Chain A
């Protein structure tokens, strides 16, 4: 969502995740996560005008909200702290 900016709706969000993680994700799992983010106030969504390539249906665009940004920063800090000084040797 942060990377895509104004173009963050289902299809590009999914492609972006699949491209970076190199694994497929189902659309059900994607929308479950997006709904949870919205319910927690981390993201918001709105519908665009219907388009022909979607069979006359609207796009649901998502935008990250300030609590979502804070949560992202906190998550990154925690990860960095946890990895600090860790060297993975051979097991």
Chain B
């Protein structure tokens, strides 16, 4: 008995309910072996099987499987799948609009992701060094002073002799800070 393409059969088994598995895969197998394969030959018969398998899967996804007992979940999924199929149909009818929308979405998502990644590393993550919580930042501070020549000078104040303190301990004067 000639076998239809394995991958197509696998997809059907995965996506169809048990009852539809029995009827649809059985119908396709019977038609394939008895009618399509002798008439069309191997390659075209396999193409026929694939086309029918995909049509069965998309039709099953978009319509309410009447044999399912969980009606509420089915109703919700049916609505979602109908919306999805409508979106795909609309996009296929307007390829220019589809391309514009896809590029805009891709750019928006890409830029957002890049900015958030940088901000996340800078603001939320600890520094990639040992004992990063003990690091402190020291800024140079210049004092503005007016001298006799009438020119404004900026001077660096002398380092205090008392050790700097911070919650983790202290640093003695003369020790290098980072």
Q: List residues of A whose CB falls within 8 A of some B CB.
A: 9-11, 14-15, 26-29, 31-32, 35-36, 38-39, 47, 51-55, 57-60
Q: Is B59 an interface residue (CB 8 A)?
A: yes
Q: List residues of B whose CB falls within 8 A of some A CB.
A: 1, 3, 19-31, 33-35, 51-52, 55-60, 63-66
Q: How far is the CB of B66 from chain A (nearest CB, A)?
A: 5
B51 to A26, Cβ gap below 8 A?
Answer: yes
Complex-state Cα separation, A35 to B64, whole angstroms: 9
Q: Which of B3, B27, B60, B63 contacts A9 (CB 8 A)?
A: B27
How many residue-residue contacts, CB under 8 A, span A and B? 83
B60 to A57, Cβ gap below 8 A?
Answer: no
Q: How far is the CB of A31 from chain B (nearest CB, A)?
A: 6
Query: Given contacts A26-B51, A27-B55, is CB(A32)–CB(B29) below 8 Å?
Result: no
- In the complex formed, the residue of B with least CB distance to A56 is B26
Residues of A within 8 A of B66 (CB): 35-36, 38-39
A58 to B58, Cβ gap below 8 A?
Answer: no
B31 to A11, Cβ gap below 8 A?
Answer: yes
Residues of A within 8 A of B26 (CB): 10, 51, 54-55, 57-60
Q: How far is the CB of A44 from chain B (nearest CB, A)?
A: 12
Residues of A within 8 A of B57 (CB): 28
Residues of B within 8 A of A47 (CB): 22-23
A52 to B1, Cβ gap below 8 A?
Answer: yes
A31 to B59, Cβ gap below 8 A?
Answer: yes
Query: Given contacts A26-B51, A31-B20, A32-B63, is CB(A55)–CB(B56) below 8 Å?
Result: no
Query: Given contacts A26-B55, A27-B52, is CB(A55)–CB(B23) below 8 Å?
Result: no
- In the complex formed, the residue of B with least CB distance to A59 is B26
Complex-state Cα separation, A39 to B67, whole angstroms: 9
Q: How far is the CB of A4 from chain B (nearest CB, A)?
A: 14
